Amino acid sequence: MARNKWTVTLEKKLPSAARYSNAIKSEIRNRLKEVGKQHVKSRAKVVSNWSPRTKPTFNSKVVVGRRISLRVAVKEKSKPYWRWVDQGTKAHKIEAKNAPLLIFRRGGFAKTQANPARFGAGRPARGAWVSKRVILNHPGTKARHFNRKINKDLKKNEVAAIRNGLRAGLRKVRT
């Protein structure tokens, strides 16, 4: 005896591709804004003990177009100290500009390191005082690569934000 087979088909009109796209972009944008705040906070922690004269400020922005990107910008007060510390400097000549002598101490090392804590005690220079009237050859500054290390630390958060934003956007469209 033959059985009757019933086929049940539920039809639902799919939302437009634009609706999918807008919902997904919106969710990813919202989640990337939070990651942007983490980037700004990490960089601000690096410069927390810098003097107000040299301390830069940071901001983040999520740019949405054909691609979605997170941009972190630095705003320097006058001279590009952040870039000099982050990327280092080449050897260069230095001279006294506002005084007859160039006076400094030898030794010591930088307070701001690119370790996970981003800053540390450092060590003030303890060497002999040097005073020179002539132009000196500065050996340059070793790059500390703060941007590279912060970006690497927060890469997982960015990937998770995009993945979770995609999922949330799809859920939002389905309902």
Task: Please state which of the ranges 26-30, 51-55, 81-85, 126-130 shows the lowest mean pLDDT.
Answer: 126-130
Determine the pLDDT at residue 38.
94
What is the band of 62 on the pLDDT scale with cuts at 50, 70, 90? very high
DSSP H stretches of helix in 69-135: 81-87
Is residue 107 domain-resident? yes
Task: Please state which of the ranges 72-81, 86-95, 99-108, 144-153 shows the lowest mean pLDDT.
Answer: 99-108
Secondary structure (3-state) at 63? strand
Residue 57 burial (CB count, 10 A)? 14
Average pLDDT, rounded, for the chain: 81
Is residue 59 domain-resident? yes
Range of the domain at 106: 17-174
CA distance 29 to 23: 10
CA distance 101 to 131: 6
Is residue 3 domain-resident? no
Residue that has been written with the tokens 């030898």 in this structure = 106
Is residue 10 domain-resident? no
Is residue 5 domain-resident? no
What is the band of 3 on the pLDDT scale with cuts at 50, 70, 90? low
Is residue 9 domain-resident? no
Q: What are phi and psi of 160, to 5 degrees?
A: -65, -40
What is the band of 34 on the pLDDT scale with cuts at 50, 70, 90? very high
CA-to-CA separations, 13 to 10, 21, 61, 99, 169, in angstroms, rounded? 10, 17, 36, 78, 18
Secondary structure (3-state) at 34? helix
What mean pLDDT is predicted for residues 1-26? Answer: 65
Residue 82 burial (CB count, 10 A)? 23
Q: How many domains does the chain have?
A: 1
Is residue 100 domain-resident? yes
Is residue 88 domain-resident? yes
Secondary structure (3-state) at 92? strand
